[in-house]
Amino acid sequence: MESREAIREFITGLLEMKGERTDVSDTELLVTAGLLDSLDVLNTVTFLEDNFGVDFSARPFNPDDFDCIENISRLVE
């Protein structure tokens, strides 16, 4: 499975568990729009570390990196 597709599936799973709509585009703002909260971002960080080996201890944290699926995918690339 392509990384962007895996990320999209993870994010839509988070949204579904929260009772939010899951038909988000890759560029739709997730945190800014209130669809994801800080706990969801933390869960996403853990998902990226576990599944793609992204090392967040070696990079500055930027909340904008988690505001849409496209930005999250760039972290993996």
The pLDDT, as a whole number, for residue 9 is: 97
Q: What is the identity of the amino acid at 71?
A: N
pLDDT score recorded for residue 1: 65
pLDDT tens digits along 33-57? 999 999 999 999 999 999 999 998 8
Predicted confidence at residue 77, as pLDDT, reads: 86
Going from the N-terminus, what domains does the chain have, and what CATH number goes with each? Answer: 3-76 (1.10.1200.10)
Alpha helices (runs of H) in 1-77, residue ranges in sequence order: 3-17, 38-52, 69-76
Answer yes or no: are the C-beta atoms of 3 and 65 closer than 8 Å.
Answer: no
Q: How far apart are CA 11 and CA 3, in angstroms?
A: 12
This prediction's pTM: 0.92
d(CA 56, CA 16): 26
Helix (H) or strand (E) holding 24: none
pLDDT at 61 over 90: no
